[in-house]
């Protein structure tokens, strides 16, 4: 085998690669800034041209990610993701393990016929909704989903770029090595040739997270401001106003009105929702005349200590999580906000009872803040003053209505969504159009997805400004900087140098050992460069090595293409980069979970090859 000498360019590439890994591992710099740093240092050191350094910004992968984020936001805007989330919850219930399994398998199946980044990005909004709705940390779900999306690309020959290229690369090698193949005709792999391996790999990765997920994944559910309860309000009012809970009224409870129960004066508890037993009709702004009867479910705002007191005194059952109110008791539908009574407001000098506040606007006053005093008792009959801050709970759409009707200024923007369900068919049309263009007409994925994104903007599914806001630019710049690093790794000969050194060192191994070495090299190159570059480099090398020891060159090439998906240890794969910020992950989280996944992937692959494929 040809050997390669170590050059100055190779040493520079190795140094920059090492710098990037150190910055990732020790969180010394934000990941998107690491990407930009590579984009600057690579041309300055002369290992790539300036055009190659910024080529990542217009690469197929990066443009595809931008487009699919906009498409996902458009689907979210129409309420489609609400329906998807609700369907998954109906199938899986409230179990974190079942939710993880259903989402991961669904995304893996979708990844088998479309690029895994597209499948992951389209399911990201629904996954975030489910985690917020069920109060499950998104970090517990997104990494398993991402790893399964990557693995799902191994179910068919059209699921990932390396497998799409495989037959062409093998045919080219076959044509150039007729003396080795002794005139045997080349037989391309069929669409489902790789499915036995893919199914085993998917099962292994899924079981890995089901069994060890709690130990491997971070538990913090509040890593991104948009997805969490407002921390500032929690710090200020948490001890008084408390948090959101659901309770069930027992059969022996004597019917009483809220006025008779005196929950706020006695316990500092506010009832913000009532569902009568045997019905699903929700009263989300109950008044003092609302009756509480046996079998009712109540949605309360309370501190944990006061909740336990009221449950003990009245025999109410505290539910572990929201059940009846699960569709409204999460951050994208309802929340708590502060409103200030502005100067010359019509609210001044009136009580909320006089204004029929709950009846008209269907929001629930929790407290009045006047100077340093937090008023919780008798707030409905307390006369409001200019400068009073009212702490309110309700659905975002009601706050939007309130903002336009009353003389009150909300301290923060109302973050609720103005859903447009009437545009659902239009949004689905452009999604399906994008998929048909990419799968049936072989239009480049980035162009196909941009067509769908542009269609949604032009037809008003999502406004252009909101579409731009939907793009996670951190992910974009991370990938844009890593792509030229991969280019430098291949262009400088660093990848070929490592492959040549390793394969020369092992001499003439047995077939299974050779395939193991090929698998590890392919995974490494895919991790630090690109999966496409790894396959282009490794397929001819692997087939030559296999033929030289009498092993099956087709099996060796298949190992390269499958191992190019074994990229779990660093957030360099497009899917890992996509879920990094929504999941609140750090590089060390990928390393912690990715090492085990990589080892299991490799062992399962070798096991499948030994049992099912000719060596």
3-state SS string over 120-174? Answer: HHHHHHHHHHHHHHCCCCCHHHHHHHHHHHHHHCCCCCCCCHHHHHHHHHHHHHH
The strand ranges marked E within 289-443 are: 291-292, 297-302, 317-318, 334-341, 364-370, 373-375, 389-395, 408-410
Return the residue matching tokens 């699921």: 159
Question: Do both 71 and 119 map to the same domain?
Answer: yes
Question: Do both 294 and 163 map to the same domain?
Answer: no
Question: Do both 23 and 149 map to the same domain?
Answer: yes
pLDDT of residue 152: 92
The whole model's pTM is what?
0.67
> What mean pLDDT is predicted for residues 437-446?
80
Cα 149 to Cα 209: distance, rounded to the nearest angstrom = 14
pLDDT tens for each residue of 148-198: 999 998 998 877 778 877 888 788 778 877 777 777 888 888 878 899 999
Question: Do both 69 and 198 map to the same domain?
Answer: yes
For residue 437, being part of any structural domain is answered with no
The gap from C-alpha 50 to its chain's centroid, in whole angstroms, comes to 33
Cα 55 to Cα 488: distance, rounded to the nearest angstrom = 12
Question: Do both 494 and 375 map to the same domain?
Answer: no
For residue 237, being part of any structural domain is answered with yes
Question: Do both 185 and 98 map to the same domain?
Answer: yes
Q: Which of 364, 269, 365 is nearest to 314 (CA)?
A: 269
With helix as H, strand as E and coil as C, how does 518-547 read?
HHHHHHHHHHHCCHHHHHHHHHHHHHHHHH
Question: Do both 313 and 380 map to the same domain?
Answer: no
| Percent of the chain residues past pLDDT 70, beyond the cut | 92
Whether residue 613 contacts residue 168, with contact meaning beta carbons closer than 8 Å, is answered with no
DSSP 3-state assignment of 374? strand
For residue 210, being part of any structural domain is answered with yes
Has residue 225 got a pLDDT over 80? no
Domain boundary among 380, 403, 426: 403
Cα 443 to Cα 445: distance, rounded to the nearest angstrom = 6
Residues 6+ apart with CB under 8 A from 565: 150, 151, 153, 154, 160, 162, 526, 531
Domain boundary among 318, 344, 370: 318
CATH number at residue 286: 3.30.70.1450
SS3 content of the chain, % helix, strand, coil (to 5): 60, 10, 35
Number of domains observed in the structure of the chain: 3
pLDDT of residue 75: 82
CA distances from 172 to 118, 186, 545 (A): 29, 10, 16
Question: Do both 305 and 360 map to the same domain?
Answer: no
Confidence of residue 230 (pLDDT cuts 50, 70, 90): low
For residue 52, being part of any structural domain is answered with yes
> What mean pLDDT is predicted for residues 238-257?
87
For residue 576, being part of any structural domain is answered with yes
Return the residue matching tokens 């702490």: 391
> What mean pLDDT is predicted for residues 373-381?
85
pLDDT of residue 226: 41
Look over the chain and give the mean of its residue pLDDT values, rounded to a whole number: 83
Question: Do both 66 and 136 map to the same domain?
Answer: yes
Question: Do both 138 and 276 map to the same domain?
Answer: no
pLDDT tens for each residue of 265-277: 899 899 999 999 7
Return the residue matching tokens 């032009």: 458
Question: Do both 215 and 69 map to the same domain?
Answer: yes
Domain boundary among 403, 419, 434: 403
Q: What region, left, alpha or beta, does residue 359 occupy, with left being phi > 0 and alpha being psi -120 to 50 degrees?
A: alpha
The side-by-side arrangement of strands in the sheet containing 373-375 is 373-375, 364-370, 389-395, 334-341, 408-410
> By residue range, what is the domain housing residue 344?
334-403
Cα 368 to Cα 384: distance, rounded to the nearest angstrom = 9
Has residue 559 got a pLDDT over 90? yes
For residue 72, being part of any structural domain is answered with yes
For residue 419, being part of any structural domain is answered with no
Question: Do both 179 and 313 map to the same domain?
Answer: no
For residue 323, being part of any structural domain is answered with no
- Bridge partners of 300? 245, 271
């Amino acid at each position: 085998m040809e050997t390669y000498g170590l050059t100055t360019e190779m040493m520079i590439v190795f140094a920059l690669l090492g710098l990037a890994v150190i910055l990732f591992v020790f969180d010394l710099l934000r990941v998107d800034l690491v990407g930009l740093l590579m984009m600057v240092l690579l041309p300055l050191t002369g290992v790539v041209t300036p055009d190659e350094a910024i080529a990542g910004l217009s690469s197929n992968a990066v443009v595809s990610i931008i487009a699919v984020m906009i498409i996902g936001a458009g689907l979210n805007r129409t309420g489609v993701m609400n329906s998807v989330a609700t369907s998954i919850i109906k199938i899986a219930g409230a179990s974190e393990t079942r939710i993880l399994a259903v989402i991961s398998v669904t995304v893996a199946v979708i990844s088998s016929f479309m690029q895994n980044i597209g499948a992951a990005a389209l399911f990201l909004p629904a996954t975030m909704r489910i985690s917020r709705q069920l109060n499950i940390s998104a970090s517990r779900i997104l990494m398993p989903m991402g790893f399964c999306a990557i693995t799902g690309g191994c179910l068919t020959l059209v699921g990932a770029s390396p497998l799409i290229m495989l037959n062409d690369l093998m045919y080219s090698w076959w044509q150039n090595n007729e003396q080795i193949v002794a005139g045997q005709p080349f037989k391309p792999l069929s669409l489902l040739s790789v499915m036995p391996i893919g199914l085993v790999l998917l099962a292994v990765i899924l079981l890995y997270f089901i069994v060890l997920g709690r130990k491997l994944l971070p538990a913090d559910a509040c890593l991104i401001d948009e997805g969490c309860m407002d921390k500032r309000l929690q710090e200020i009012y948490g001890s008084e106003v408390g948090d959101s809970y659901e309770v069930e009224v027992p059969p022996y409870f004597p019917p009483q009105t809220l006025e008779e129960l005196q929950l706020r004066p006695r316990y500092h508890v506010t009832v913000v929702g009532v569902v009568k037993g045997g019905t699903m009709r929700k009263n989300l702004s109950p008044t003092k005349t609302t009756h509480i009867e046996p079998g009712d479910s109540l949605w309360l705002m309370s501190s944990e200590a006061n909740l336990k007191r009221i449950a003990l005194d009245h025999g109410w059952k505290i539910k572990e999580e929201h059940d009846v109110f699960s569709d409204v008791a999460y951050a994208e539908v309802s929340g708590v906000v502060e409103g200030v009574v502005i100067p010359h407001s019509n609210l001044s000098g009136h009580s909320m009872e006089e204004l029929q506040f709950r009846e008209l606007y269907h929001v629930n006053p929790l407290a009045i803040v006047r100077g340093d005093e937090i008023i919780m008792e008798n707030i409905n009959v307390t006369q409001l003053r200019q400068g009073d801050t009212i702490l309110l709970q309700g659905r975002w759409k009601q706050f939007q209505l309130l903002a336009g009707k009353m003389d009150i200024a909300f301290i923060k923007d109302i973050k609720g969504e103005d859903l447009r369900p009437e545009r659902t068919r239009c949004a689905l049309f452009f999604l399906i159009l994008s998929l048909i263009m990419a799968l049936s007409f072989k239009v480049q994925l980035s162009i196909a997805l941009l067509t769908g994104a542009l269609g949604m903007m032009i037809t008003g599914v999502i406004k252009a400004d909101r579409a731009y806001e939907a793009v996670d630019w951190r992910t974009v710049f991370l990938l844009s900087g890593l792509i030229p690093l991969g280019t430098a790794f291949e262009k400088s000969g660093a990848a070929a140098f490592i492959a040549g050194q390793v394969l020369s060192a092992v001499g003439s191994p047995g077939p299974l050992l050779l395939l193991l070495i090929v698998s590890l090299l392919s995974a490494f190159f895919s991790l630090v460069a690109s999966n496409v570059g790894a396959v282009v480099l490794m397929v001819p090398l692997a087939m030559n090595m296999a033929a030289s020891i009498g092993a099956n060159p087709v099996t060796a090439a298949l190992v390269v293409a499958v191992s190019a998906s074994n990229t779990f240890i660093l957030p360099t794969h497009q899917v890992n980069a996509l879920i990094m910020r929504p999941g609140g992950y750090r590089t060390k989280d990928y390393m912690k979970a990715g090492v085990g996944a990589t080892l299991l992937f490799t062992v399962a692959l070798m096991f499948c090859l030994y049992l099912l494929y000719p060596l």
